[in-house]
Every structure is written in C-alpha cells, then in structure tokens.
Amino acid sequence: MAVRHQLVRHPPHRVWAVLADPDLYGRWVVGPCASTPLDDAWPRVGSRLRYTLRLGPWSTEGVTTVRHQEPGEELELEAAFPPLGTARIFLQLRPWGEETLVVCDEHPLRGLGGVLHNPLSEAALQLRHRGMLARLARVVERSSGGVRRA
C-alpha cells in the first residue's frame, strides 16, 4: 500500500477546491493527459470522469469513480484502467496550522494490477505519488492567485 504525504501551503478549503474541480483533474494527477466529466455532480459519490492516457502513439481511456467523500476532508476514488484493473486512491486533507497535510494512500483493488502487485510496483506508485502531490501543490498555488501563507 503506497502512502505518501505533502504539505500544501494553503488551507484545506483551497486544496479541496482543486480536487472538486473536474477540469483540473488532469493537471494534478500523473498519467492522464485529458479528462472529461461523465456526470455534472463531481465529486459527489458515484460521479465519474473519463480520462485518456498516452504513451507515445499509444493511448487508452479509463474511468475514475468517486466512492466516498467528506467535503473539504476526504476524497476516495476508484480508477479503472482496463488493461490493469482498478486502483483505490484515498486523499485525506488534514489541517496543519494554516496549511494542509495531504495524505495519499493508493493500492491495486481488482484485476491484473492486484495480482502483479509487488515491491517494484509499490516503488513505482511512490514515485507517481511524489509527482502527483507536488503537482497538486502547484495547481493549488496557481488557483489561489499565487498568494502563499508564511
């Protein structure tokens, strides 16, 4: 189970605003190059986004579904990527003074990804999370008008 955290220099409501905006999904999640809401209710439980993954000339689509959410605090997603199965991604926002500690917990849930899960794939998830949480912090920074808290 890959667990990683990132301190974001903005309060939880600003981080949640980015997580709750389906148009920003592809800017902070590592992998998708495009995403499209399939429902008008993102991030309500059951709402979905379609995303496209590209690697050179190869591309494929997947769907991410919201499985649980506590506005401003928690977002739990199930990302379905047809060749590999599904993964559970849990994001928790913890107030840290005037900042936010974002905790990301991801693991394979169903399909080939779960069967093949091993220390090497766990290391790859850790690298993905490092990039994803850094990107999330940058997107929050930009969406907050560049105003940083001390």
Q: What is the percent of the chain with per-residue pLDDT over 70, rounded to a whole number?
A: 95
Q: How many whole angstroms separate alpha carbon 135 and alpha carbon 18? A: 11
Asked if residue 146 has pLDDT above 60, the reply is no
- Residues 83-100 have pLDDT tens digits of 778 989 999 999 999 999
* pLDDT for 20: 95
Asked if residue 25 has pLDDT above 50, the reply is yes
Q: Rounded to two decimals, what is the model's pTM? A: 0.86
* pLDDT for 56: 79
Structure confidence at residue 149 as a pLDDT band (50, 70, 90) = very low
Contact yes or no for 125/17 (Cβ under 8 A): no
Contact yes or no for 140/14 (Cβ under 8 A): yes
- Residues 38-91 have pLDDT tens digits of 988 999 999 999 988 877 788 888 899 999 999 999 999 999 987 778 989 999
* pLDDT mean over 92-112: 92
Give me 128's structure tokens.
Answer: 């993905």
Q: How many whole angstroms separate alpha carbon 89 and alpha carbon 75? A: 8
Class of 2-31+69-143 per CATH? Answer: alpha beta
Question: Domain segments of the chain: what residues?
Answer: 2-31+69-143
